Structures are given as C-alpha cells and as structure tokens.
A and B are shown apart, each in its own frame.
Chain A
C-alpha cells in the first residue's frame, strides 16, 4: 500500500492529550472527534487538513493516554498515515488496530518541511520526500503485525479467528 500526501509536521512527544483533549472523551462519533483533532496543540489543524495528508511527528508520538479517540480523530480527519521517529506503544497498537498506518522513519523526519509532498510505501518500508527528491528507509512491520494490517485491522482479525463473517 502506498500513501501520498502533504506533510503536516509536529515535534517530539506529541501526546494524546493534545491530539484529543480529555474534555471530549465522552464523545464516540468519529466526526465529532475529528472536529477537535490536534486542538491542544494546533487549533488550525481542522482547517488546513486535507484528505490524504500525512502527519509527521518526532520521537515518542502518541505518548500518554490509551485513548483510542486520538487515532480515531486523526483517521476521521482524512489523514492517510502518520510517520514519526518513534511511537508510544499504546498509540502504535491503536493505530494499527483501526487501520491508520504508523510508520517509523527516523532518518526522514528532520529534513521534512511542513507542506512537503511525501510518499510512504508500507510493504517496502520506504518514505520518499517528493519535494526534496530524497528517499529513506523506514522500519518494516513484523510479519504478524503485517498480517493484522492485511486483514484490515483487529476487528476483522478477531472475526477470522472466530470463524464469523
């Protein structure tokens, strides 16, 4: 799967509180959550995000709370994938489970400028910065995680294990 989009860039330790502030955690509809996405750090995000955009983070992206509302809000905003130097463990799982690719590509991050056009190839494990004309190697998912992604996330995976359609 290849994702192509414009970069929206943030720094290190972007936590789930700033991605989706706690006061909205009683919301469950993904459109309601998307309306508050990144509100804690970037009140302009909801205006500038376009379908297919790629969020770029530094190290420890998604640290903090286990709230799945954070990756749900990002996905419902139209973001196609997230690349970062590293991801917090729970956020990483949540993103995979709901079908938002979270790609670790430490080498690419520092050179990316807001608005650069990026191309991410999940299977090959590459990130191309089209604007800069450069290519970088990304971490490839372990086989079992790749299987989870290939079946379409955890809901489908559980259904396949239980033999239900």
Chain B
C-alpha cells in the first residue's frame, strides 16, 4: 500500500516508522518559528526548562509582526522581550518590526522549504504545506519545549484528499477554493487530520494561491494542509534561492479516509459571512450587504500576486466614499515590489490607505479596528465574533479580487461587475 505525502514526511522525521492514524509519535523539527504573541509566553516557559540552551540557534525564527510597529508601551515591552531574547541566545533569524508577516517572509527567504517539518507558535503555520512541507501550529509552551529539545510529539493524522478538477475562471483565487471546502466540511471537518490538495486543477494555482489555501486549512481544524511538490513549487524554490529542499509526492495508491472532488469550472468567487469561516456563500448571494471597511493583506492574502489582482480591479477607479480601504503588504519585499510595479500608486490614487507590513487589524490588535455594528470585507482568515474589533462588528472573508471590487462599490461585489 502506498503512502500519502504527509505520512512520508512524518516517517522521515521520526524513529517510529510503523505508525497509523491516531498514534502518538515523536518527530524531529527542522524549523521553529514564533512571534510577538506566542513568543513572550514561550520565553517565560523556556526559562523554566533548565539550562537555557537552544537546540539550534540557526533553526529558530522570531518575527515581530502582530503588534508592530508598537501601538503602546505594553506592546513595545513585548517586542523588547523578544529582541533581547534573540540577542542573548544568538538567534540568527530575527525579523524586527516592519519586515513583515512570518508566513509571508519565511518561505520567500528560504527559511522553510519543501520537505521540511516546520512547527510554529501560530495556528496559520499550516501555510507552508503549499511548498510540500509538513507544517503545523502550536502554543507557547510547545514552542518553548521545541526550543529546548528540537523535537515534539504529534498525533498521526488521518488523510483527507481534495481533488481539483477543470479550469477555473480568471478571478478565482486560492481563497475561493478553501472557503468553498470549509463551507462543505465545516470548521471541524478536518479536526486533527491532514488535508491534501491535489488533482489536475492544481496547475492553475500559483504559490501565492496555494499558500492561501494551506493557511486556512486550520480553519477546518486540520493538523496540516499540503500540496504535492510540482513544477510550480520548483520554480518558487529556485526563485527563493533554495536548493537543498526535498521532494515528496503521494503515491498513486495511497489510502484516504475521505475524498472530495471540486469542479473548478462551476466555482464562483466565495465569501465567508459572519461569524464562521464555514459560512461560505457565492459572492452573488451577498450582493446587498453594505460595507464600511475593506482590508487587503494578512498572511492569507498579502502577497504580491494578491496585490496584483486587487490592483487590476481598482485601477482607474475610486474607492466608495462610504468605505475605508486598507492595503497592507505582507512584507517589506512585497511592498517594494508593489512600489516598483506601480501598484502602490494605483491603490493610493484610488483612495486606499497603504499601511506598513504587519498582521494589521486581522486579529483585532491595532490598525483598522471596527466600531459598533461596522462591517468589513477582508482578505484575512477569520471572522469570529469580535475578531476585528467591537463584538457587534462583522467580518466577511473574501479574495483580493472580491475585496477590491467591494471597496469600489461599497457593497459586496463580484470582480466581474467592476473590472
């Protein structure tokens, strides 16, 4: 019997070879990341764990992206804690405020790569499955434990397969795929399981779209979400200057507990209505909803491909006077690319406010927090109650194309109506 890609990567990172779903195995971690939310608590716990030695100061990244640039003294002290810790431990990969979002930076800088086993103190660490890596999120004490040992335990996941078929419309983004999937299986549809995205249709999705899909696997409860390595992955890794990656692909006869086929030709742009990522509906069903704010950015959709798509929609048009539109490039590099390509000019002329690279308002930290009863269309990944501000506010999750079209009209709009 063949093996799925996730099983192969886990097997190569564990001394236990003969495992089955549900077994608890110990695994070696290739790369660990943490940020200014999970990091400070991890540092506290790490200090309690003994001799203060990191398992490897070259295989830990700290990224200050959530409360940065610091909005107040409390956040500034949190950043300082991490800055001091990185310095005292000689952590090589320290990304200070303004560099950008962890899940945008790390694959681009070649820190995480195909075939790796990556653990992060952030639930959206599932993002790196797009590279054909195993990646999953943990909390602070687990981060501390891995900083000390370089190993952790995992419950071996059951395998789920999502087969993309046919050719999608030009406005379909990875966001539409994953919102559609979650609308079908629910926020616990993949609880503790592995989601593999495969099929002939994957060739229509670039790495930026694949990162988006894997990023939101956690919104279905998945342990990890993953693509098989292909030509698109290879080009991305070469552009990132990575050569020492490892290629994994599922066997033809690998077994899955669940298989879903998705016909890309029938797929419409999707919007997840409040207050669950599983409330996905075709954009046309929500066309009467008026919007106060639009956010384009985050670890889900803050990459250059996302900005190019959104710019295509807004070019030469004005943001609705009823909308505050925010553009938050996912990293300084994305910002610079957008600047050089003229995208920043397009957004600014149309009435967008361009913010410095960070997580922004996604998690309700700062920048663009919503007031009472306000509605936002956002390219971020969660729309829980109060996620972006006041408990009575609402977040609608959508692709960059839908978000851009919505910014122009002031109500939820399909890009086909504007562009």
Contact = CB atoms under 8 A, between A and B. Distances in A.
B153 A97 contact: no
B386 A153 contact: no
A81 B67 CA distance: 31
Contact of A26 (B67, B155, B276): B67
Interface string B20-50: 0000100000000000111011001100111
A98 B143 CA distance: 13
A90 B369 CA distance: 26
Contacts of B44: 28
Given A17-B385, A67-B38, A23 B364 contact: yes
B14 interface: no
Given A41-B385, A155-B49, A94 B137 contact: no
B363 A65 contact: yes
B198 interface: no
Contacts of A91: 139
A21 B364 contact: yes
Nearest to B66: A25
A133 interface: no
A15 interface: yes
Interface string B365-395: 1000100000000000010111100010000
B385 A97 contact: no
B123 interface: yes
B51 interface: yes
Contact of A66 (B48, B51, B137): B137
A53 B276 CA distance: 28
B78 A90 contact: no
A64 interface: yes
A33 B141 CA distance: 16
Contacts of B67: 25-26
Interface in A11-39: 13, 15, 17-18, 21-23, 25-28
Nearest to A85: B188
B142 A64 contact: no
A135 interface: no
B192 A89 contact: yes
A72 interface: yes
A40 interface: yes
A7 B205 CA distance: 48
A86 interface: yes
Contacts of B387: 17, 22
B137 A64 contact: no
B122 interface: yes
B138 interface: yes
B188 A13 contact: yes
B75 interface: yes
B139 A90 contact: yes
A124 interface: no
A76 B369 CA distance: 28
B163 interface: no
A137 interface: no
A67 B363 CA distance: 11
B221 interface: yes
B153 A25 contact: no
Nearest to B74: A26
A65 B78 CA distance: 19
A71 B139 CA distance: 10
B188 A63 contact: yes
B74 A27 contact: yes
B140 interface: yes
Interface centre among A13, A25, A26, A155 (most CB of B within 10 A): A26
A64 B382 contact: yes
Nearest to B153: A144
B148 A162 contact: yes
B127 interface: no
Nearest to B220: A63
Contacts of B364: 17, 21-23
A40 B66 CA distance: 20
B137 to A, nearest CB: 4
Interface string A129-165: 0000000000000101100000001110111011010
Nearest to A158: B49
A28 to B, nearest CB: 5
Interface centre among B138, B141, B369 (most CB of A within 10 A): B141
Interface in B97-150: 121-123, 125, 137-142, 144-145, 148-149
Interface of A: 13, 15, 17-18, 21-23, 25-28, 40-41, 59-60, 63-69, 71-72, 86, 88-91, 93-94, 97-98, 142, 144-145, 153-155, 157-159, 161-162, 164
10 closest Cβ pairs, A-B complex: A22-B364, A164-B50, A68-B139, A94-B139, A22-B363, A60-B188, A97-B141, A17-B384, A68-B140, A66-B123
